[in-house]
Amino acid sequence: MRIAITGANGFIGKTLLRKLKERGFEPRALVRKSFNCDGIDCRIVDYDDPLSIADAIKDCDILIHNAGKTKTISFREMLSVNVGITRRIVEAVNMQENSMRLIYISTQAVSGPASAESPACESDEMKPLSNYGKSKAYAEKLIRNQCKKSFNIIRPCPVYGAGDVDFLSLFRLAKLGFSFQVGSKDKPINMIHSEQLVDFVMHVIANPNVNGESFFATDCRVYTQAEVARMIALAIGKKEPKSLKVPPVLVHGVFGISDIIGRIRHMPSAVNLEKYAEIMAEGWVADCTKARQLLGWEPADEIEQKLKETYQWYIENGWL
């Protein structure tokens, strides 16, 4: 089976390429610039041109649309990437003569916050807090309204693993013996390892009868932020980290300043006011029932091992 992947050069894209190849699929990397193809079928694509995309995905059975921006200076730029490219991807998919299937990598951020007692379900109205979540929600709606081929939407929760930059700061903090908590309340969250996410995608691929369905992708467990910090400390061989309980007002100030500096330098920072709003939410928990029932998704309980492997990768690659 031939599978094209957009954003093949990023954290999740690279994991998709590697694991799909290992499992006997024929992945095709769609990239914007030159790329170390290393035995993989690579195509340079002009994402402004639907014909260029259509040509690059010709003869593929599946297109995984994974390219996206998680942080930008402006909402306009966020929309132009996350919605604009999706529009042209859908046009290109609609042009195909074969019965191609589109799988869109969206995000849990489209759902809005939810507690462990009342987790978000796929059927809930989307209530994103951030511009990132809003742009992905628009992209989901666009696919629903305009895609003429079969499609699925996958909404991953925070993804960790080899090559991820977002969890790296927590590993760095844990190495110094600390963890970080905003305010006095520990919040519930979901997690998924990048290879588990690829497994999830494969479960969707293996179920052609779920056309049009969206799914939250998690490891089906609920953690608290403090638990995650403890597990990271354990994974790197440290004892219980000292929790720095930072007052929200201070965090708001720091995130606000970082946001302004990012805008002045035209370099978007992960530490920004939208991230602050997401951190202050009651929690980010998604219900796993639909994925269990329709896809048979039963991930192993392997977070401790996967965090150790992530740490090992950071060390081997000089990131820590």
Ligand X SMILES: NC(=O)c1ccc[n+]([C@@H]2O[C@H](COP(=O)([O-])OP(=O)(O)OC[C@H]3O[C@@H](n4cnc5c(N)ncnc54)[C@H](OP(=O)(O)O)[C@@H]3O)[C@@H](O)[C@H]2O)c1
Closest of 121, 115, 306 to residue 228, by C-alpha: 306
Answer yes or no whether residue 201 interacts with ligand X by CB under 6 A: no
- Total Cβ atoms within 10 A of residue 89: 28
Distance CA 3, CA 1 (A): 6
Among 3, 7, 17, 130, binds ligand X (CB under 6 A): 7
What does the block give as tokens for 41?
A: 């079928």
Applying the rule CB under 6 A, the residues between 163 and 182 that interact with ligand X are: 166
Q: Is 12 in the site for ligand X (CB under 6 A)?
A: yes
128 binds ligand X (CB under 6 A): no
Q: Does 69 bind ligand X (CB under 6 A)?
A: yes
Cβ-contact 70, 274 below 8 angstroms:
no
Of the candidate spans 155-163, 179-187, 240-248, 272-280, the one that interacts with ligand X by CB under 6 A turns out to be 155-163
Site for ligand X in 229-258 (CB under 6 A): none
The residue type found at 48 is D
User: Applying CB under 6 A, does 66 fall inside the site for ligand X?
Assistant: yes
User: In whole angstroms, what is the distance from residue 147 CA to residue 149 CA?
Assistant: 6
Span from 2-10, 50-58, 271-279, 291-299 in contact with ligand X (CB under 6 A): 2-10
Does 276 engage in binding with ligand X (CB under 6 A)?
Answer: no
Q: How far is the CB of 316 from ligand X (least distance, A)?
A: 19
Q: Which stretch binds ligand X (CB under 6 A): 8-16, 87-95, 181-189, 277-285?
A: 8-16
Nearest one of 102, 275, 301 to 219, comparing CA atoms: 301
Residue least distant from ligand X (Cβ): 10
Helices (H), the chain: 11-22, 50-56, 75-79, 86-95, 131-146, 168-175, 194-205, 225-235, 248-265, 273-280, 289-290, 303-316
Helix (H) or strand (E) holding 242: strand 242-246
Of 3, 5, 67, 173, the one binding ligand X (CB under 6 A) is: 67
**Among residues 110 and 173, whose Cβ is nearest to ligand X?**
110
Q: Is 151 in the site for ligand X (CB under 6 A)?
A: no
Asked if 268 touches ligand X (CB under 6 A), the answer is no
Range in contact with ligand X (rule: CB under 6 A) among 31-39, 168-176, 229-237, 268-276? 31-39
Is 107 a binding residue for ligand X by CB under 6 A? The answer is yes
Q: Which is nearer to ligand X, 153 or 182 (CB)?
A: 153
Cβ closer to ligand X: 10 or 268? 10
**Could you say which of 159, 228, 236, 286 contacts ligand X (CB under 6 A)?**
159
3-state SS assignment for residue 22: helix
Please report whether residue 9 would count as binding ligand X according to CB under 6 A: yes
Q: Are 203 and 297 in contact (CB under 8 A)?
A: yes
Residue 152, CB half-sphere, CA atoms under 13 Å: how many?
A: 27
> In the structure, how many helices (H) and strands (E) does the chain have?
12, 13
Q: Which pair of tokens denotes residue 116? A: 């462990």
121 forms beta bridges with none
CA–CA dist 254, 271 (Å, integer): 8
- Using CB under 6 A, pick the residue from 2, 21, 32, 87 that binds ligand X: 32
Give whichever of 74 and 98 is closer to ligand X, judged by the CB atom.
Answer: 74
Chain residues binding ligand X by CB under 6 A are 7, 9-13, 31-33, 47, 66-70, 81, 85, 105, 107, 156, 158-159, 166
